Amino acid sequence: MNMPSEQSAPKSSSLTVIICSLLVIAGAVTFASQALTGHAERAWQAYFLNFLLFSAMAHGALLFSTLMHTVRARWSGPLADLAEAFSAFFPLSFLLYLGLFLGSHYIFTWLGHDLHGKESWLNLPFLFSRDLTGLMLLYGLGFAYLYHTLWFKVTARGARGALGRWLLNRWQQRPPDRERYQRRRTIFAMLYMLAFAVVLSLLGYDLVMSMDPHWYSTLFGAYSFIKAVYVGFGALIILAAVLHLRRANGFTLQSSQFHDIGKLFFAFGLVWADFFYAQFVVIWYGNLPEETTYIIERTMTAPWQGLAWTVFAACFIAPFLILLNKKIKTIPAAMVAICGLVIIGMWLEHFLLLGPAYHEHVHRLPLSWVDGATALGFLGLLMAAITIYLRQFPEVLSPRLEESH
């Protein structure tokens, strides 16, 4: 078997950097041009939608690692290593959240309206402070888990990146205490999963459901964090498949591992659909005007009706029918296509939830190139964050057999 050349990996990495740079530049130029030419509302709304989706991807991907560690799933070792790379997007997500404050008057449709007693909850100072606190808690727990997880990897495999070497020197100055690090790692993993459910629910209520302030659903929070798990696992599968197919970096997965994570992805697709249906059927059965208006507008009226069916087909019907086949789950290229379809579907789902609040009384779907170009910019940021992490900890791409999660 031919081993990958030493020159192929740097060339491939340089190409990735170029692609990331072009994507980020395209997104930034699009945002700036729209904001400075009198279309600031369009720019900020696209920014907001993509912040929600790509942050949820990073949250959900790291959850895979914490979940696999907690249940001691040894098969997931290489995948859990990759899942931890998504935590590199957390600082960017935090800064992007702070940026929302600058465009708050274009994003939050309830500003300046009569909220019928909800003013104590829906006001910008309280909303930003509580969501900021939630994100700080979630990201802090995520990095605490990552710190204790890296101890096992770096001390066992060595370190080639600058940050990895710095951590290794720091840890070598202290007497090793494997049991203490393992115990803390487990505690932080469980705390992250708990914070994930709470914080993602809060963000769902505050940043999505509040756009129609007179509509509410007690299931919307759970629906929001299940959606984050779904897209996070999908993004992880895409990353794993791309690295596996490139081969130059030394990362490989067995067919059984693709099959196992494919089954998890399939299962959470069913859970997402179940939450979608449970939320819909209760509102339909109750038939209360303050609840049904939200659903009717997004599923039964033009131009949103067609988009709703597109979302349902892309996020549930197609993945369900395709992933029933066992062999498909073991084909990396096929999984990239399926997971990519789901992520695009979820991007459209965010547009479906937010669009009617931003575009009232429209007769055609208000999607434009601005939304797509901004999404490419956010994709470039996510790819850049993951690339930087893998450059700092390249040893995670070649896991050793003696380590386990």
DSSP string, 76-98: GHHHHHHHHHGGGGHHHHHHHHH
Tokens of 269: 């697709």
pLDDT for res 340:
97
| pLDDT greater than 70 at residue 2 | no
H or E element in which residue 344 lies: helix 332-358
- Comparing CA positions, the residue from 336, 295, 300 lying closest to residue 319 is 336
- Comparing CA positions, the residue from 247, 358, 268, 342 lying closest to residue 64 is 268
- Give the number of C-alpha atoms closer than 13 A to the C-alpha of residue 391, restricted to the C-beta side: 15
Neighbours of 395 (CB within 10 A): 20
> 78-102 as b/e, with b when 16 or more CB fall inside 10 Å?
bbbbbbbbbbbbbebbbebbeebee
pTM to 2 decimal places: 0.92
Neighbours of 312 (CB within 10 A): 17
Range name among 4-8, 368-372, 385-389 with the lowest pLDDT average: 4-8
Tokens of 62: 């790291």
| pLDDT greater than 70 at residue 404 | no
What whole-number distance in Å separates Cα of residue 315 and Cα of residue 374?
22
Q: What is the mean pLDDT of residues 261-270?
A: 96
Pair 298, 356: CB distance under 8 Å: yes
In this structure, what is the dihedral angle of CA atoms 269, 275, 281, 284, given to the nearest 10 degrees?
A: -110
SS (H, E, C) 144-165: HHHHHHHHHHHHHHCCCCHHHH
Q: What is the mean pLDDT of residues 118-144?
A: 95
pLDDT for res 6:
45
| pLDDT greater than 70 at residue 403 | no
Question: Per-residue pLDDT tens for 154-199?
Answer: 887 777 888 888 888 888 887 778 888 899 999 999 999 999 999 9
| pLDDT greater than 80 at residue 138 | yes
